[in-house]
Amino acid sequence: MDLSQRLKLVVSALAGQACMPAMMHSPRIEPGLAIALSASYTAGPEYENGDDGPSRFAYGPVGANFGYGWTSGRIEGLGASIGAHVPVPVIAAVQPDIYLQLPRSALLGLDGGVGLTSRRIDRSVVPYAQLGILSPTSTGVYATYGLLRESIDPDRNHPVLREEGRIAGLAFQWRQGKTTSRIFATGQFGRRYWRCSRSTDEPCRSEKRWAVATGTALEFRRR
């Protein structure tokens, strides 16, 4: 087995024990650079994954987060951000993220928007939406909901064909100066499809799977 084949097998194994998509920002964009650390504990059943051994459907975010935001000076609530979640220890599974905050007038005074994150390690794209009730000091509660579809291994080196599911989360945050603290709970609920053989992309069976994670994040912001 050459080096490229070994790397593909490693990537497939990591994808089989993937992290939940990490939308680690609130629905309200604040201008400037933000750096955060996040950690979580995952609960739920462990499932058999062939040669990879038993594991949970997905694991909660643990790692570092980076982002930069822009806001409009004319339209209240309009803003955008780009960022990334870098999971530890699998830093190769970096998750880029783009987010657009909608004007507050369009959301009855609430903070909310839509975004897109991706996990390059399993070629997944996750569209999501956020909505929250936040005070002028950015203290408050918000919800996140996303749709997931993963192609685990298009090169057919892994028995899993794909995973589909939903990501739902609830978080509370409070700010002290330039530091924002968050506590959150996130669940991933979906279905895993198994490949019939390496010669086809047709699923031969599927099963429902789920996992939940609770955690905290600490964000440092520099305007």
**What's the domain count of the chain?**
1
% pLDDT > 90, the chain: 56
Q: pLDDT tens across 187-197, in order?
A: 999 988 877 76
Q: Which residues of the chain have pLDDT under 70?
A: 1-18, 49-53, 120-123, 151-159, 197-201, 223
Q: What is the dihedral of CA 39, 214, 65, 118, to 10 degrees?
A: 130
Q: Give the model's pLDDT for residue 210.
A: 94
DSSP string, 63-128: EEEEEEEEE-SSSTT-EEEEEEEEESS-GGG-EEEEEEEPPGGGGTT-EEEEEEEEETTTTEEEEE
Torsion 72-117-96-41 (CA) sign: positive
